[in-house]
Amino acid sequence: MEIKTVMIENPEGLNLILGHSHFIKTVEDVYEAMVNSIPGAKFGVAFCEASDICLVRYSGSDDGLIELAKKNAYALSAGHSFIVFMRDIFPINVLAAIKAVPEVCRIFCATANPVEVMIGETKQGRGILGVIDGFASKGIETEADIQARKALLRAIGYKQ
């Protein structure tokens, strides 16, 4: 087995969700999960089909985000993986709906951080071994950091 890394191309620092699924209808079901969670959502989703003709399947509501999803999915070319790019949406607002899609097996990450995907490649194909989401920790939060974290969550409406 050869181990490779694929850097997710995300020039705007958009939020993304990277996951693993098991069926061709993933693209349609993730699309429905997105629009049912946030009407008018701007997103693109692409899915690597790992059987039959092995195409990158895609859908979405924003042409640029669809293209970004397709490009990244094809760069991964990893069995039944999917990637969703979203604009002006936080993953926390759609993650439960995507996890509830019956064929979704796992979520590797949901982030706006730089992402490197570790890929294992054999003669048969490729699979995601894991992800590097962002950067290494730089220390332990102080009391001032705790207060700043709590203030931020309340300022953006996620806590009261």
pLDDT in tens, 12-43: 999 999 999 998 899 999 999 999 999 999 99
Using CB atoms within 10 A of its CB, is residue 115 exposed (0-12), middle (13-18) or buried (19+)?
buried
CATH number at residue 75: 3.40.1520.10
Question: Is residue 160 domain-resident?
Answer: no
Using CB atoms within 10 A of its CB, is residue 13 exposed (0-12), middle (13-18) or buried (19+)?
exposed
Which position has the token pair 């979405």? 60
Q: Which of 27, 56, 22 is nearest to 43 (CA)?
A: 27
**Domain containing 106: what range?**
2-155
Question: Is residue 10 domain-resident?
Answer: yes
pTM: 0.94
Question: Is residue 15 domain-resident?
Answer: yes
The dihedral through the CA atoms of 115, 56, 126, 19 has a sign that is positive
pLDDT in tens, 60-73: 999 999 999 999 99
- Report the number of distinct structural domains present in the chain: 1
